[in-house]
């Protein structure tokens, strides 16, 4: 574990760098300075973060452009005519109908629930309860009955790894001096965060012996959390940089890491 920690800590230093921002969906909220703009742009970019990263970034930029490049103002002040701009938006199965629901629900959250950050308050040791609370409020607006949008905000309680929402929380909560994650939120601590588990981070974690479960689901997240919190109990999710970077940029295989 000592050699594994040293290896992963080195990889965190390699990939937790500003020069990787332009190649990552986190580049979308990095266009903004206002906290609420960062939150909204970050949530939207994270929500559509599946598929090719170039396409994700292209479509996320298109979405905030449809909002006049002022996400918070658009959420709070839009009328139905302005909302109709989103009708033509599409990223894989996320379409204009979903985008409009997000805007209406976010308006409700900022007007009636104290903002996005406030929904993630929790005394739990992890963020699963906080994510469920967010989902319950997010899908509570009475005038919207369409169920299709619910699949775009995953639920740990239903067994999902919830990769995209864990990624969004990493962006909002982690605090360091690298300039990648924003560290805007104080309702959670980095110690509560979970690794955004996907095919890349999952395969590398299995190759390193950090994960045995074959499915990338909530149980796998819990298993990986346990191991990463041994490596760094205060900031376990920093290893997302290492696991994802090894999988995407280095085509990591078990033989690349040999303990002598």
Three-state SS across the chain?
Answer: CHHHHHHHHHHHHHHCCHHHHHHCHHHCHHHCCCHHHHHHHHHHHHHCCCCCHHHHHHHHHHHHHHCCCCHHHHHHHCCHHHHHHHHHCEECCEEHHHHHHHHHHHHHHHHHCCCCHHHHCCCCCCCHHHHHHHHHHHCCCCCCCCCHHHHHCCCHHHCECCHHHHHHHHHHHCCCCCCCCCCCCCCCCHHHCCCCCCHHHHHHHHHCCCCCCCCCEHHHHHHHHHHHHHHCCCCHHHHHHHHHHHHHHCCCCHHHCCCC
Q: How confident is the model at residue 2 (pLDDT cuts 50, 70, 90)?
A: confident
In tens, the pLDDT along 54-81 reads 999 999 999 999 999 999 999 999 999 9
Task: Give 237-254 pLDDT, tens digit per residue.
Answer: 999 999 999 988 886 665
The domain spans of the chain are 2-256
What pTM was computed for the model? Answer: 0.94
Mean pLDDT score, 20-34: 96
């Amino acid at each position: 574990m000592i050699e594994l920690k040293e290896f992963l800590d080195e990889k965190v230093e390699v990939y937790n760098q500003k020069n990787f921002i332009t190649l990552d969906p986190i580049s979308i909220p990095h266009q903004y300075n206002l906290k609420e703009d960062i939150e909204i742009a970050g949530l939207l970019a994270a929500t559509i973060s599946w598929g090719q990263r170039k396409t994700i970034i292209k479509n996320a930029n298109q979405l905030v452009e449809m909002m006049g490049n002022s996400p918070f103002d658009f959420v709070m002040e839009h009328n139905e005519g302005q909302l109709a701009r989103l009708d033509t938006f599409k990223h894989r199965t996320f379409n204009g109908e979903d985008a409009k629901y997000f805007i209406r629900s976010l308006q409700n959250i900022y007007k009636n629930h104290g903002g996005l950050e406030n929904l993630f308050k929790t005394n739990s040791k992890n963020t699963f309860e906080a994510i469920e609370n967010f989902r319950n409020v997010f899908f509570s607006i009475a005038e919207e009955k369409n169920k299709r949008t619910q699949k775009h905000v995953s639920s740990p309680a239903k067994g999902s790894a919830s990769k995209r929402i864990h990624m969004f929380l990493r962006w909002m909560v982690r605090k360091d001096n690298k300039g990648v994650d924003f560290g805007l939120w104080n309702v959670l601590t980095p110690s509560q965060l979970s690794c955004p588990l996907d095919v890349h981070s999952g395969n590398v974690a299995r190759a390193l012996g950090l994960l045995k479960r074959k499915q990338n689901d909530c149980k796998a997240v819990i298993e990986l959390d346990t191991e990463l919190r041994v490596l760094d109990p205060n900031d376990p999710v920093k290893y997302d940089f290492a696991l994802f970077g090894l999988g995407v940029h280095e085509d990591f295989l078990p033989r690349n890491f040999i303990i002598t």
